[in-house]
Amino acid sequence: MRGVFLRRTAAALALLGTAALAAAQDFRDPASQTFTVWPNIPVIRAADLAEYEADRRIFDDLHADKADPEKITAALRAIDALQAHHERRAMAQLGRSVNAQLIAELDRLARAARLAQPKLRFDYSDLTPEDLQIPTPPQELKARAGRITLAAYITYTRLEGTLVQASATLVKLRNGASQSFTVTAPAPVLADALARELFDYFQGTRFAANRVPPGGLQWLPAAPGHADQLVSRDVAQGWCQTQDAQLPSADELQAAQAAGFHGGGVALRAAGAYHVQGGLYDTASAQAGAGALRANHLADVPNGYYYCVRQPQPAAPVRTARKRK
């Protein structure tokens, strides 16, 4: 049952992710923006798949007529009703506890970091504690809808003992873009773990993108027939030559490994030998600090994996029209 839920959740988040990519490269853009969040955060237990799908449709509505104030007001009203519904059924009032504890922990982290203006703030203007226990009146929702940037909801499932796995999803009301964060933690500290994920994401340093691929090289995989197979240096070099490429140097392979498969580089086996220009690049030796490069005296023995590298083609010169005299 839990596997089915996770697959359906992944599918739903994939659809949301498409909208997020279309809206902006980074969910936190613009970098200087402060996000005002609707304080009612529904906490939905993932035990009833039919009910989960019905709840999910409420958030799907945020993607239709996104800029319409009436639609946003209706969506916030539905979120409030959803919060009240699940609070009545939550595990030992987990929903309200997580809601309040999450906000409190975000405040604590902001104070500890001495932030004058945290990126996430919750709109409690004109609200009393009693107001948070019931859905907000429609007229008040309409008045406040223009100030709200994000709505949030949390889905959770119980694991063994006190462990709970939870996903917090933030949705931009104006364009439907979303970002999700998943943690696994004991129930008493679940909100703290989620708060840390959110805080680090919104307040953490935004690093500049790496230059990829390292050195401007074009990386090619081994021949299809050589995938996951040890081959000889002669065979590896021969295939690279058919691709107008060559074996990388040890330094090039090391830089590509450091960049990582998702950063424009390559993924190497934890204990594997790779053909390079100067011999064999041994990842196990490199990890042990004993030096990665070792000689390969038998060029015709299948004793290594390989990648090929191709030098980038120089840009064609720009021709300018000559002026007639």
Looking at the structure of the chain, the number of domains it has is 2
Q: Are residues 121 and 16 in the same domain?
A: yes
Residues 223 and 291 in one domain: yes
293-294 and 279-282 strand pairing = antiparallel
Answer yes or no: is 47 within a domain.
Answer: yes
Write the pLDDT tens digit of every residue in 278-323.
999 999 887 776 678 999 999 999 999 999 999 887 766 666 666 6
Same domain assignment for residues 230 and 136: no
Q: Residue 104 domain-assigned?
A: yes
User: Which pair of structure tokens corresponds to residue 286?
Assistant: 């490199």
Q: Is residue 315 part of a domain?
A: no
What is each CA distance from 85 to 78, 192, 206, 270, in whole angstroms? Answer: 10, 24, 38, 50
Asked whether residue 322 is assigned to any structural domain, the reply reads no
Last residue within a domain, chosen from 149, 170, 203? 203
Asked if 32 and 174 sit in the same domain, the reply is yes
pLDDT of residue 237: 97
Is residue 261 a part of any domain in this protein?
Answer: yes
Residues 173 and 303 in one domain: no
The last residue of one of the domains, among 177, 203, 229, is 203
Identity (one letter) of the amino acid at 238? Answer: G
Contact 165, 157 (CB under 8 A): yes
Same domain, 35 and 141: yes
Predicted pLDDT at 14: 41
Q: Supply the pLDDT for residue 133.
A: 57
The encoded tokens of residue 192 equal 């703290």
Determine the Cα–Cα distance for residues 83 and 97; give it in Å rounded to an integer. Answer: 12
pTM of the shown model: 0.66
Of 139, 174, 203, which closes a domain?
203
Closest by CA to 247, choosing from 285, 217, 210, is 217
pLDDT value at residue 10? 40
- Say if residue 234 is in the same domain as residue 183: no
- The total number of residues shown for the chain amounts to 325
Instruction: Clarify whether residues 93 and 168 are in a common domain.
Output: yes
Residues 236, 193, single domain; the answer is no
Same domain? 91 vs 167: yes
The span from the first CA to the last CA of the chain, in angstroms, equals 81
User: How much is the pLDDT for 315?
Assistant: 64
Task: Judge whether 127 lies within some domain.
Answer: yes
- Look at residue 210 in the predicted model and tell me its pLDDT: 78
CA 223 and chain centroid, separation? 31
Cβ contact 281:274 at 8 Å: yes
- pLDDT, tens digit (0-9, with 9 covering 90-100), for 106-141: 999 999 999 999 999 988 776 665 555 556 666 666
3-state SS record for the chain: CHHHHHHHHHHHHHHHHHHHHHHCCCCCCCCCCCEEECCCCCEEECCCHHHHHHHHHHHHHHHCCCCCHHHHHHHHHHHHHHHHHHHHHCHHHHHHHHHHHHHHHHHHHHHHCCCCCCCEEECCCCCCHHHHHCCCCHHHHHHHHHHCCEEEEEEEEECCCCEEEEEEEEEECCCCCEEEEEEEEEHHHHHHHHHHHHHHHHHCCCCCCCCCCHHHCEEECCCHHHCCCCECHHHHHHHHHHCCCECCCHHHHHHHHHHCHHHCCCCCCCCCEEEECCEEEEHHHHHCCCCCEECCCCCCCCCEECCEEECCCCCCCCCCCCCCC
Inside any domain, residue 209:
no
In terms of residue numbers, what domain contains 90?
2-203
> Is 135 within a domain?
yes
Q: How far apart are CA 94 and CA 91, in angstroms?
A: 5
Q: What is the CATH number of the domain that holds 222?
A: 3.10.100
| CB-CB contact of 164 with 185 (8 Å) | yes
Q: Block means of pLDDT (10 residues each) for the chain, length 325 residues?
A: 40 40 68 89 71 63 63 73 59 73 95 94 71 60 78 88 91 90 94 96 88 82 96 97 96 92 91 94 81 89 96 71 61
**Same-domain pairing of 38 and 6:** yes
179 and 234 together in one domain = no
